[in-house]
Amino acid sequence: MNSSLPRAVNSLTESAAIAYGPEGIRVNAIAPGSTLTEMIRTWEADSPGLVERLTAHTPLRRAADPDEIAQAAAWLLSDRSSYVTGTVLRVDGGARA
């Protein structure tokens, strides 16, 4: 991964949160890790061991179910996160820890 990409997402998220916060608009992002999507399952079928290689350095030692990513997004969209803005939420099983 290009190391400047996470910094760019952080910067954009923070800048937008500062710009739009006074209007009551919250700006957050999600940084997902390996997720068992149909695409990944197809790649695994073509290249056995791919998922194992993707998750080898993840502390939870597994890929996310798409619903786990969706639940994080739902939380950010809910009133439960009403005071959260300018945040990039890593939902990656600890991969970047």
For 44-57, what is each residue's pLDDT tens digit?
A: 999 999 999 999 98
pLDDT above 90 covers what percent of the chain? 89
Structural fold of domain 4-91? Rossmann fold (3.40.50)
Sign of the torsion formed by the C-alpha atoms of 89, 95, 96 and 97: positive
Q: In the predicted model, is pLDDT for residue 1 greater than 80?
A: no
Q: What is the pLDDT of residue 6?
A: 80
Q: Kind and range of the H or E element at 29?
A: strand 28-32
Comparing CA positions, the residue from 47, 14, 50, 49 lying closest to residue 29 is 14
Q: In the predicted model, is pLDDT for residue 2 greater than 60?
A: no
Higher-confidence residue: 97 or 13?
13
Tokens of 74: 């739902």
Tokens of 67: 């619903």
Q: What's the mean pLDDT when you consider all of the chain?
A: 94
For residue range 79-90, list pLDDT tens digits in order: 999 999 999 999
